[in-house]
Structure 1
Amino acid sequence: MTAYSPLPYAVFGVSGRTGAATADALLRSGQPVRVVVRDSAKAQAWAERGAEVAVADLTDLAAMTQALSQVQGAYVVSPQHYSREDLFERAELIAEITARAAIAADVPRLVALSSVGADRESGTGWIRMNRMFEQRLTDAGVSTIFLRAAYFMENWMPMVGQAMRSGTLPTFLAPPQRLLPMVATVDVGSAAAALLQEKRTGTCAVTLAGPKDYAPNDVAAIVSATLEKPVDVAVLPETEWPEALADAHFSKAALAGFTEMTRGLNCSHIDIKSDPRAVEWVGTTPLERVIVELVQGQR
């Protein structure tokens, strides 16, 4: 039996899926948690569950240092601001502040959300922001486990909505029968919580995929079975990507990053097995469960 520590685990990103899943997993296992938010109003539900609440902007060194002080460890994220033209510069600033705050607060260990492909020097689009995060924390000498998640199953939500309305599932991933590692965000949270509690020191990378690989055709088949009607797959040519993404309100820089990242996925330049030093973890949540929930949530 491990000795109980009254110090909490700090969890960032609880307004998003992976941070919320991490905080939830820690609380369910009886661990003390400090959620870190920009707006205290967004932490009410966590406070009601017994979590401490810290308020910090990710670019405020003093507030970040305070939020990371007196903790057993922390789950940190670098949120990506897709509406900004300076999203890469913003990510670099957040990485710098996070590293400096972690050193100032003397955090024993971090689990940092990253992505498959972060080991690649170029040709990864958005994933370069995760690489910046990894490099800055590594250079600072902070004990960090980089949790390189596969393609989020929840990324299919807007495409599932279109399939429900039109009977056709659009996809940027091609060819539609090619299998790709995907992971549920609840598994990211479970893995982050487990890694925080391992008490390991030093820096390493852990890749995280779902129980098996899936293709866009599998997503369409699950939607079809759930709706009990045919659903086709339509691979969107690259010339149509800007129009297809118009509702996302991406900046020009973000659209270019998405395009390069998706090309990298489609040609297998971004590959979960590309870093032989990374430790492989596997989640338990099947794609079927996530897609059915997405369908039910949009009915």
Structure 2
Amino acid sequence: MIVITTPTGNIGHQVLDSVLAADQPVRVVVRDAAKLSAEIRDRVEVVQGSHGDPQVVARALDGAETLFWLLPTDHHAINLDEAFAEFTRPAAEAIADHGVKRVVGISALGRNTPYADRAGHVTASLAMDDMIAATGAAYRALTMPSFMDNMLWQARVIKEQGAFFYTHSPEHALPTVAIRDIATVAARLLLDPTWTGQEEVPVLGPEDLSLNDRAAIVSDVLGTPVRYQQITGQALKEQLTGSGMSDAMAQGMLDMMTAKDNGLDEGITRTPQHAIDTPTTFRQWCEDTLKPAVEAV
């Protein structure tokens, strides 16, 4: 039995589709089962509730061999520990209690860099990984840079202002990865019953690009000028809290972005295998995903 959390989320639903295509028995943990299609509900066992709830996660992991673990986004948590470690603790206990053999988790790059202990959300993700690893289950932490798909949040701004905004230096080349490639890597591991031990699996995407590089590609794909505008960390935090995010979670986001600009995502040497495992280029993603989103605004 493979248990999948966040089955209606951006990553989780793609993982679920791939695992179901392999005709494996699947159990999903979902807050609102109505968000699953009727076809999906007919093919999976549903445990309704939060996978941060001890009773829910205990039911979900009873008899399970493999778990796909992804934290839900909590913009309102009072601190990072509540959002990451405290949410994960019941699952870690259930993994150990029920003898779950393998866990595939969504995490972040940065371990063994000078910035790992002051990188906000990433620091909390790495602590979460340690908690899961301490259960004794075989664990594959998929360690990610920023997602290409995060740019979708700025689709309206791109269309109306011809610009997009981050805190990163404009010429600093960084890795990015498409969500669809993350889901492919995760599903492959979930469907493979042979791996053991505990490892990080860097999921880097095929290339490093600066924000100015990305602006040039977006301009070319959309057929209209689009520029990158760097903003201050304080401006980012004010935007986040203004949209309802708690001060602690906004500060965690800012700390993460600052650490990335200082080299957090650059502790892994890129190899040809990374492009094989995560082949979607930023240009291809813009053509397939960003351009339709901007046109639909």
**TM-score scaled by structure 1?**
0.88
Selected match of 2:232 from 203, 223, 237: 237
One-letter amino acid of the counterpart of residue 61, structure 2: L
CA contact under 8 A between 1:242 and 1:255: conserved in structure 2?
Answer: yes
**SS in structure 1 at match of 2:43:** coil
- 1:44 aligned partner: 37
CA contact under 8 A between 1:178 and 1:215: conserved in structure 2?
Answer: yes
The worse-fitting range, judged by mean Cα deviation, of 191-200 and 245-254 is 245-254
- 1:22 aligned partner: 15
**Aligned-pair distance for 1:252?**
0.6
- 1:104 aligned partner: 97
**SS in structure 2 at match of 1:140:** coil
**SS in structure 2 at match of 1:240:** helix
Q: Which runs of 5+ in 1 are unaligned?
A: 1-7
- Tell me, yes or no, if structure 1 residue 90 matches structure 2 residue 83: yes
**SS in structure 2 at match of 1:16:** coil
- Tell me, yes or no, if structure 1 residue 185 matches structure 2 residue 179: yes
**Aligned-pair distance for 1:111?**
0.4
1:54 and 1:220 map into 2 onto residues whose CA distance is 43
CA contact under 8 A between 1:73 and 1:110: conserved in structure 2?
Answer: yes
- 2:158 aligned partner: 163
- 1:212 aligned partner: 207
- Tell me, yes or no, if structure 1 residue 250 matches structure 2 residue 245: yes
- 1:264 aligned partner: 259
Which of the pair is proportionally richer in helix? 2
**Aligned-pair distance for 1:43?**
2.3
**SS in structure 1 at match of 2:209:** coil
2:84 and 2:41 map into 1 onto residues whose CA distance is 32
One-letter amino acid of the counterpart of residue 177, structure 2: V
1:212 and 1:45 map into 2 onto residues whose CA distance is 39
- 1:298 aligned partner: 294
One-letter amino acid of the counterpart of residue 186, structure 1: R
**SS in structure 1 at match of 2:4:** strand
User: Alignment length, in residue pairs?
Assistant: 287
2:249 and 2:121 map into 1 onto residues whose CA distance is 7
- 1:75 aligned partner: 68
**SS in structure 2 at match of 1:17:** coil
Root-mean-square deviation (Å): 2.2
2:41 and 2:294 map into 1 onto residues whose CA distance is 28
Render the CA deviation track for 1:71-90: whole Å, top value 9, x for unaligned: 33110112241222234223
2:283 and 2:152 map into 1 onto residues whose CA distance is 13
- 1:64 aligned partner: 57
CA contact under 8 A between 1:126 and 1:261: conserved in structure 2?
Answer: yes
- Tell me, yes or no, if structure 1 residue 228 matches structure 2 residue 223: yes
- Tell me, yes or no, if structure 1 residue 132 matches structure 2 residue 141: no
One-letter amino acid of the counterpart of residue 196, structure 1: L
Structure 1 stretches of at least 4 aligned residues deviating more than 4 Å after TM superposition: 118-121
Query: Aligned in 2, Cα 1:46/1:135: closer, same or farther, shift over 3 Å?
Result: farther
Q: Which runs of 5+ in 2 are unaligned?
A: none
**SS in structure 1 at match of 2:75:** coil
**Aligned-pair distance for 1:115?**
0.7
**SS in structure 2 at match of 1:181:** strand
One-letter amino acid of the counterpart of residue 132, structure 1: A
Render the CA deviation track for 1:168-222: whole Å, top value 9, x for unaligned: 2222221x12211111111111101111222212211111011112221232223
**TM-score scaled by structure 2?**
0.88
